Amino acid sequence: MTSLSGAWAPVVRRPLAADQARVFAPMFKALGDPVRLRLLSMIASAGGGEVCVCDLTGSFDLTGPTISHHLKVLREAGLVDSDRRGTWVYYRMVPEALTLLAGLLDVSAATTPA
């Protein structure tokens, strides 16, 4: 995951700098697709903290390469990470990325001092 340069605050406190918006935008874009949002939720809620791609593909009426593409988008956005084990790839969420997104959208920050 690309690190954010400089300090950032929730959007209700102050606007993002252009470079910060460029870091967050791919994450939101990745989550803007229903298939990718479902994949992320399946990975995040998997027991043991990770899930094999072989366990994900059956939940969709999509080809394996299409699922792989969606997982690649999530990985490139820094939302999931993966490891290849033999012929299978195992995915796990990146908690720090979701924490960043949650912090960015924290509307309760509007009422707390900066």
10-67 pLDDT tens trace? 888 888 889 889 989 999 999 999 999 999 999 999 988 899 999 999 999 999 999 9
Q: Max CA-CA distance within the chain?
A: 51
Tell me the pTM: 0.85
Please write the tens of the pLDDT for every residue from 75-94: 999 999 999 999 999 999 99
- Helix H, strand E, coil C: the string for 57-78 is HHHCCCCHHHHHHHHHHHHHCC
User: Which residue has better confidence, 7 or 43?
Assistant: 43
Sign for the pseudo-dihedral over CA of 39, 41, 51, 99: positive
Domain with residues 18-104, CATH architecture:
Orthogonal Bundle (1.10)
